[in-house]
Amino acid sequence: MAALKAEGSSVEPGDSLPIKLEIDGEEDFSPKASPPPPPTPEDFSPVSGRLAPRPSRSSNFQAPESALPSEPGSPGSPGSPDSPWGGRKRGKKASKLSKSSDASPPPSTAVSFWGSELGEMYGLRSETSVHISDFGTDTAKVYQRFKYLRNLGAGKFGTVQEVICRKTQKHFALKIVKAADIAAEISLTKLLRHPYIVSMQEVMTDADDCYLILDLCKGGTLTAWIAHHYETLLHCRLYIAPTSYEIGVFTKQLLLALAYIHHHNIMHRDVKPDNCLLVTPEGSQMKLADFGLSIRFQKGVKMTEVIGTVMYMAPKMSVPSPSYDERCDVWSAGALAYKLATADYVFQDAIDPADFNDADSNKWEEPVFKAMAEAGVKFDPKVWQDFDKRLQQLVQMLLDKNPDQRVRAKEALKNSQWLRRIKVEEKCCCTIS
């Protein structure tokens, strides 16, 4: 049962668009079929969370910029002229809406929000798109190109620093790991290009270590974001839950990232708050990071390796004879949303770390695995009554214990009317240049 690890340092308990037609010399502006209208404030009235309504601890949580439309190709959707993902952002002249049906389809080389093919914007990068430099034993060359600013974190897998490129003055994260431990992660991460995935910009090596230049996310991990929502009141530590809308924003971005990698036959296998990074402290844009346990898969072929972070693993990953596909990541996304809403793990009742001393510290996994196999997912009405029912329905859908009935990421994004109306920030990754 190798590669299991506990989370963190401890196991803590568009409007209808008129199209102008000429009919016998008269103009007809009848609205044509289009996606549901964008959300109004009434659609997303804030809910209180675990306590009575109060000013949110995340008062700086910025409302992102545009809503995801319900159908690809509609105004504002990926690939449409009005989309920030489409022609205008890439410097091309926007084409006018046309009633004609003989327009050529876009090239099938990339993935949309839901994994459908729309063009080159979100295809995989080429194998040679990330430059790899071998400095031999001269580690100083790394810091001749990048100036060290501060440490961001350290763990058993290496250290992370904030650095600035001396040439472009752009800030990046520098991840330093042993070369022997990072080959698989590099081979996959260097291919990925998506606004909700940490992008690899460059790789440098010396005799022992690899130096990965990655997107810098200054907002910290989602684990820290959750911890910030605790308050002490009358000597009690209380969790001030985020709103349904905030949870929806994070969940949607994660599902968009998963739809992208699954479309390209990559599963992450370690989705958890520690691996979700906020781009800025005050913003809501999030990026999925750390592809160290990720793997390529073939559709229809099940994985059998027990791997991941226990409290976010899908049930079928922990049974004596594990069998799972890419939808294990969907379960993890549901477990993350559950954690955001309740501050608890899905199978929280199965574990009490206080029951185990240091010598038996690993035994807490056993009751969790048993609960995964036998127990149902609980939704305490006293907790979930404060949230939008559609959020609970979404989380229940993601946490379907039957792996063959569980939705895929792109299906969840397409089928949840509520999630489709959640706005997310749409900004692409930078490059070193």
CATH for 4-10+219-424, among 1.10.10.10, 3.30.1490.20, 2.60.40.10, 1.10.510.10? 1.10.510.10
Task: Compute how many other C-beta atoms are within 10 angstroms of the C-beta atom of residue 144.
Answer: 10
Query: What is the pLDDT, as a whole number, of residue 289?
Result: 95
Classified as helix, coil or strand, 79 is coil
DSSP for 387-405, please give it. S-HHHHHHHHHHT-S-TTT
pLDDT exceeds 50 at position 25: no
Query: What is the pLDDT, as a whole number, of residue 217?
Result: 96
- Report the CATH fold assignment for 131-214: Phosphorylase Kinase; domain 1 (3.30.200)
| Distance, C-alpha 257 to centroid of its chain | 5
Query: What is the pLDDT, as a whole number, of residue 119?
Result: 33
Annotation-wise, does 175 bind a ligand? yes
pLDDT exceeds 80 at position 355: no
Residue 419's alpha-carbon distances to 37, 225, 246, in angstroms, are 14, 21, 11
pLDDT exceeds 90 at position 221: yes
Q: Residue 408 carries which side chain, given as an amino acid letter?
A: R
pLDDT exceeds 80 at position 16: no
Domain ranges for the chain? 4-10+219-424, 131-214
pLDDT exceeds 90 at position 389: yes
Separation of first and last alpha carbons in the chain: 43
Task: Compute how many other C-beta atoms are within 10 angstroms of the C-beta atom of residue 89.
Answer: 12
Mean residue pLDDT of the chain comes to: 75
Predicted TM-score (pTM) of the model is: 0.71
Any idea which of 58-62, 99-103, 306-310 has the lowest mean pLDDT?
Answer: 99-103
Query: What is the pLDDT, as a whole number, of residue 352?
Result: 61
Task: Confirm if 124 and 191 have CB atoms less than 8 A apart.
Answer: yes
Task: Tell me the per-residue pLDDT of 245-303, one tens digit each, with 9 for 90 and over.
Answer: 999 999 999 999 999 999 999 999 999 999 999 999 988 899 999 999 999 999 989 99
Query: What is the pLDDT, as a whole number, of residue 318?
Result: 82
pLDDT exceeds 50 at position 8: no
Query: What is the pLDDT, as a whole number, of residue 432?
Result: 37
Task: Tell me the per-residue pLDDT of 126-164, one tens digit each, with 9 for 90 and over.
Answer: 776 677 777 665 677 889 999 999 999 887 778 999 999
Cα–Cα distance between 77 and 147 in angstroms, integer?
40
Query: What is the pLDDT, as a whole number, of residue 321?
Result: 83
Task: Tell me the per-residue pLDDT of 165-214, one tens digit each, with 9 for 90 and over.
Answer: 999 999 999 999 988 888 888 989 999 999 999 999 999 988 888 999 99
Query: What is the pLDDT, as a whole number, of residue 14?
Result: 40
